[in-house]
Structures are given as C-alpha cells and as structure tokens.
Amino acid sequence: MSRILNINADEFQSEVLNSERPVMVDFYSDECPPCEVLAPIFESMAEKYGERVKFIRIMRQANRDLAEQLGIGSSPTVIFFKNGKEIGTRLTGFLSKPQVRKAIDEILGDVIPQIETAREEYDVIILGAGAAGLSASIYTARARLNTIVIDENVPGGQAASTYHVANYPGTPGVVRGQEIIDNMKKQADSFGAKIEYMKEIFEVDLSNKIKKVQTEDKDYNARTLIIATGAKPRALPAEGADEFKGRGVHYCATCDGAMYQDRKVVVVGGGNSAVEEAIFLTKFASEVTIIHQFDHFQASQIAQEEALKNSKIKVIWDSEVRKVNGEGHSLRSIMIENLKTKETSEIKTDGVFVYIGTEPASRLFKGQVNLDESGYIISGESTKTNIEGVFVAGDIRTKPIRQVVTAAADGAIAGIMAERYLVESW
C-alpha cells in the first residue's frame, strides 16, 4: 500500500497545514518529464521516511488557484511544511534521489542511516542507465559478461525526458524518448544484464585494477567500468535566476508552457532545444523572444527556418541575460547585455525558458579521470579514459555532437572495448 496521499485544494488545510508531522508536498502536472522522473523517487522516499514525514501529491493543473496562492509556477515543485508553515528549500525541475534525500534529512535533522552493506562481484559495472549505459549493457551482456547497470534515478536519462525524438534511426517518424529507452531496457534484460536504479552512489574508486562503487546498501566490485552518467541542463547564470526558479524561470517548456497562455515569454539559447522549444511555446504565448549570445543559431536549418518565419517569434542577437527581476512570486522583467556594444536594456516578460547547454555529471570522478575545463571526461572515439579498464560513453564525454543516437553508439563502442580489455588484460 502506497504511503503517498493524493489530495486536492479543499483538503490542503486539514492534511497539510494541520498535520502533526512534517509534510512533503509534490505539485505535479500531466505530460511533465521531470514529474515522471520524480514520481518513483517520491515513492522510494515515502517508503523510507513515511513514519516520520507525510508525503502528499497535488496535481497543479487541477488546483491552479492553490498553486498560484503558494507561488508555484513550475512542475514539479516540492514544498515542505511543518506546524502549518513552509520550511526548508523548495525543489523544482529534474530532481535526483540525492537531492530529495538531502532535503528531507535537513528537515528531520537526520543523516542517512548506517546499514551493513552487501558486496557483489561483476565483470562490468556500468554507471548510468540512459541510452549510452543501456546500449553498453546490451553489448557486454550479450558477450556473456556478468554486467550490472547502476543509476541514481530511473532508467532513461535525458532521452526518457524527451517527448519527441524525430531523428532516431529505425523509428517510424517521431517517437517518445521513453519508447526508445524501454526497448533498450528490454534488450538488456533479455541478454541477462542486471539493472539496479534508485541507488544513491556515495563513492567510486578507480585507483586499483578492481574498480569499486559504493552505494547506500551495496559495494560493487568489477574488473572494468563504463561511465555513462550523462549531463543535466545548465542553470541560467544571472542574478536572481535561482530565486525565481519555478516562479518564472523554467527549464521545461513541455511542463510549464501552458501556464503562459496569451503572455510574453523569453527563450534563452540558440541550439536545437532552444529553437524547437520556442516554436512549441508559440502554441500558448502571445510573443516569444529568443535571446542568443551569438549572431546566428546553432540549431538545424529546418528548425531555424520554422522559427524565423513564425510571426510570434523575434530574436535578439549577441546578448546575454544578466539579471532577473520580479516581486514576490512573479517575474516581471530581465536585464540583458549586448556583448558587442556592452549596452544593457530591460525586457518585460512573464517567463523565461532556459536552454543553454548541459553540465556533465562527473563529480564522482574528479581527481581520478582526466576532465576538460568544463568537467567532461576526456576520451576519443575508442571511449578509453586515462585509466586502464575505465571507459566513458554518452553526453558525459568530450564530443562535438550530443544526440540519443550518438550516446547509443558510444555505448556500443564502450561495451565492445570493455570486452576486449577483459580478454586481453585478464
């Protein structure tokens, strides 16, 4: 039986504000990729902390007045309450299990309980269950290598959170990213790969011939390791951007675009994601302004042409956002700087959608594998790192193109190279 209570606005007073226990409230939406990522994390936390914390979910779309009253403008938004008052830090966007766990521990004043860990041995450890990691597992498991795939969230990575993938070979036109991931997972399962997700990773030790991964309840050892932990959207580096995250600053147009019906919005960025999401936002907004730091887009020619001929879209070139302005829970305007003239100007807007690239999830490997200045793991097409027996695949490695198909290709190469390494070195 689930420990999560689904309520509506009429029950908010009795179930949340009058609760004797601290309350964790998830405001979610339909057709929201970050909400789908959070759902199993929320379930996992409810199982672990349900005796001390009340876990509640409220659909934001069906309870708009309450959401607006609380200043919630993004899905998902997680809020904590205690003794009828909001406490702690709000969580929004694509959330990881460690983020949610740490927020709960702050409220309870706890640390994660110490438990006796089990030890497991494998031929190959793959960190990350996105397109790269799953592709690698298909190749290693099919080669009859004892393979474990570990992910801190649910399988899929960025691919699973992409609703429309229009350029993946062998698919019938446009498909959901989750469909591709589900098929990969089934293939990996059929070849015998073991996939464990919702596993918080505490430490990775690559210093010896046997590679070690410590999680919340198990220590994994293997003769070779493939890093496929991917990347996450880069935050807007502007004054006030963090303060208004989920209150006017967004990172998912699919999740939050509908709330800007007949309003003015800004899209920051000039790659495929920025231009395609700007086009998507014209379904709702009266005006969409794209702000880009260069004098040309990096998006595909088709996307550029569609955006530039759309009467609702205008573009401001050679500029960056310096400050986000607002009152309370409402964003009012942004300050931008022209990088050539150094002039600043204010743009009135109701919302900002940010698509300025990604940041690699390489924290666990810093000081062990060679990273470039942006934190990506340095590797060529062989997927080898500077450490013998350690390979890297997908968005976390240095490469000029990051797509689902290139992540899958990396995974295939890394899987084959891992197999060759074991044959030649053991």
Catalytically annotated residues:
252, 255-256
Phi, psi of 278 (to 5 degrees): -60, -45
Q: CA 173 to CA 152: how far, in whole Å? A: 31
Instruction: Measure the CA angle with vertex 365, ends 113 and 423; round to 5°.
Output: 105
- Name beta bridge partners: 118: 218
Instruction: Measure the CA angle with vertex 112, ends 232 and 58; round to 5°.
Output: 60
- Name beta bridge partners: 195: 149
Cβ contacts of 271-277, under 8 Å, gap ≥ 24: 271/297, 271/298, 271/299, 271/355, 271/357, 272/298, 272/299, 272/300, 272/303, 273/355, 274/299, 274/355, 274/356, 275/299, 275/303, 275/304, 275/307, 276/303, 277/253, 277/353, 277/355
> What is the identity of the amino acid at 63?
N
Q: CA 337 to CA 321: how far, in whole Å? A: 7
Q: How many residues does the chain have?
A: 426
Q: List all residues 6 or more positions away from 150 whose beta carbon is below 8 Å from its beta carbon.
A: 125, 126, 127, 128, 129, 196, 197, 199, 201, 213, 215, 220
Structure tokens at 123: 């031929």
Helix (H) or strand (E) holding 54: strand 54-59
- Name beta bridge partners: 85: 82
Decide: 127 and 99 in contact? Cβ < 8 Å: no
Decide: 74 and 95 in contact? Cβ < 8 Å: no
